[in-house]
Amino acid sequence: MTKMIGLLLLAAMLIQIIKPLGLTGLRRRGDFWKLAVLALVLWSITLLARDFT
């Protein structure tokens, strides 16, 4: 699961650099770092959830 989340968010970051997604807060190419922060948060939550189950 963590690998799939990482790959999907990595693909979204690459797409953001090539052509901005146009979502709120993601209108410029330089906003790809926001996706990286989102990826880190989701990955951390997934790892923590896995430890508690």
Q: How far apart are CA 47 and CA 29, in angstroms?
A: 29
The model's pLDDT over 28-48, given as tens digits with 9 standing for 90+, comes to 777 778 878 887 888 888 888
Give yes or no for residue 2 having a pLDDT over 70.
Answer: no
- For residue 1, the model assigns a pLDDT of 61
Which residues make Cβ contacts (< 8 Å) with residue 33, sequence separation at least 6? Answer: none
Q: Total domain count for the chain?
A: 1
Domain that holds residue 12: 2-52
Q: Is 23 helix (H, G, I), strand (E, B) or coil?
A: strand
Contact yes or no for 32/13 (Cβ under 8 A): yes
The per-residue pLDDT of the chain, averaged, comes to 80
pTM: 0.64
